[in-house]
Amino acid sequence: MRRALTEVVATGPVISSRREVMMLLQAELGSLRRERLIALYVDSKLRLLRIERVSEGTRDSAPFDLGRIIQSGLEVGASGILLVHNHPSGDPASSQSDRRAISRLSSVAADLDMHLIDALVVAGGECHSMLNGWIKTVRDL
């Protein structure tokens, strides 16, 4: 599925629905036993520019490298960032550390004309939005 989505990157929108995003994220992160942080970078028309694995961590955390996330966005000329990590425990609750990191990223990205589209947590077979009520489930993603 990942190959099919990324092959058409040059010709137009790669991800046409929230459901496709959820399927991609579940495939990438849903069954992992350790936390992984990935970033999806898009242009102003929401065309996928890059999917990047930012870090891999332990069962309970993954390193958050703000500089790397921003630098990659600048390298590809991203207008938007979708940041995603998984919780192998199945608990979608975001930690205070998660919320602080997302707040910092949102602020720095905005200063550089990039928009943080959302920060998602893949847990318990679902995808949860941190920016739309912190734990609101993105059902029609």
* CATH number of the domain enclosing 9: 3.40.140.10
pTM of the model: 0.79
Report residues of the chain scoring pLDDT below 50. Answer: 5, 7-13, 133-141
Range of the domain at 131: 2-137
Distance of CA 62 to the CA centre of its chain: 13
Rounded CA gap, 43 and 125, in Å? 28
Q: Domain count of the chain?
A: 1
Residue for token pair 């992984």: 36
Rounded CA gap, 57 and 126, in Å? 20
Q: What is the pLDDT of residue 73?
A: 96
